[in-house]
Structure 1
Amino acid sequence: MRPASAIFWSAVFLVIAPGTLAGYIPWAITDWQLGRARPPLTALGGLLIGGGLALLLECFARFALQGRGTPAPVAPPERLVVTGPYRRVRNPMYVAVVAIILGQAALFADVRLLVYALIVWLAFHAFVLLYEEPTLRRAFPEDYEAFTAAVPRWRPRLRPWRAPT
């Protein structure tokens, strides 16, 4: 896929998938009304939202520019992306979306968003196990095997992994 097309379709998918999961649904649950959160909790919420959003945008850009594709299963990357945040954790996009939801739970002091974040993470975990990992093993057999052996699925590495050349 050409970079311009990859960027365009990645942006469309960003609005549709993470935009719905981490934006529209939390808004529908909370109406984005500030709850009774105390300042330390609101600060934590802001950090999780900001950090999650920055991580999500970084990962989407990597898929478009380095992977020459999108995160969407209908237009996957042509190359396995194992740089940037992927050197620390295999699923940084999913981690970012959950962080954004958890940040909103803290910011709006809403337990319903904590439950929703758990449901979203469980759905991501099932998708990763049942679809994503088998698909990547078939598409990039040797590279993905080395990647999965070195980089944890959910718990970030302290030292970034370096892919063999």
Structure 2
Amino acid sequence: MPFQLAGVSIVVLGPIYAPLEASDSAALAGILVATVFGSATLALYRTSAQALATRRALVQHGPYRRVRHPIYFAMLCLMIALAASSGHWLQFLFAVPIFIAGTAIRVHFEDLSLARRFGDEFRNYARSTPPLVPRFR
């Protein structure tokens, strides 16, 4: 997760160019709630990489119904909200490739681990659920 944290950190560097509006605060609060919800779902079902060996079920509900890696999606949204609320668009443009590279690496290895553990159940889930950005139909 160092690349993701580096990306988020880069976005907040420097003086704030835009005052926080009420809508910015609401967006940040919503993203934090989504991050906590995704983290709680992970904790509830012990889905961390260290606990893959003891897991009994593939989590496909809650935020995982829409996206396979909701915490990474929430972190990307957090970067956007921080850039919008602080006016740090140049830092955002620099941070996004770092964040995406780190996320792509993590998603690849997490998906491989899940495919080994859950086989066809995970492969079917992966075909119908995007890895990072949810589809709303």
Partner of 2:83: 105
2:10 matches 1:34: no
After TM superposition, give the deviation of residue 143 of structure 1 in Å.
1.7
Change (3 A) 1:45 1:22: farther
Partner of 1:146: 124
Partner of 1:135: 113
* Structure-1 separation of matches of 2:98 and 2:61: 28
4+ runs deviating over 3 angstroms = 42-48
2:130 matches 1:120: no
Q: What secondary structure sits across from 1:74 in the alignment?
A: helix
Structure 2 matches for 1:69-84, cutoff 5 A?
Answer: 69-71=46-48, 73-76=49-52, 78=55, 79-84=57-62
Alignment root-mean-square deviation, CA: 2.9
After TM superposition, give the deviation of residue 158 of structure 1 in Å.
1.6
Greater alpha carbon shift after TM alignment, 94-103 vs 120-129: 120-129
* Structure-2 separation of matches of 1:114 and 1:48: 20
* Structure-2 separation of matches of 1:115 and 1:23: 8
Identity of aligned residues (%): 29
| Amino acid in structure 2 at the alignment position of 1:21 | L
After TM superposition, give the deviation of residue 127 of structure 1 in Å.
1.9
Contact 2:80 2:92 in 1 (8 A): yes
Partner of 2:135: 157
| Amino acid in structure 1 at the alignment position of 2:104 | H
Unaligned runs of 5+ in 2: none
After TM superposition, give the deviation of residue 24 of structure 1 in Å.
7.9
Contact 1:95 1:154 in 2 (8 A): yes
Change (3 A) 1:48 1:28: closer
Greater alpha carbon shift after TM alignment, 114-123 vs 42-51: 42-51
* Structure-2 separation of matches of 1:63 and 1:147: 17
Change (3 A) 1:80 1:22: farther
Contact 2:6 2:95 in 1 (8 A): no
Q: 1:53 aligns with which of 23, 32, 39?
A: 32
* Structure-1 separation of matches of 2:7 and 2:96: 12
After TM superposition, give the deviation of residue 126 of structure 1 in Å.
2.2
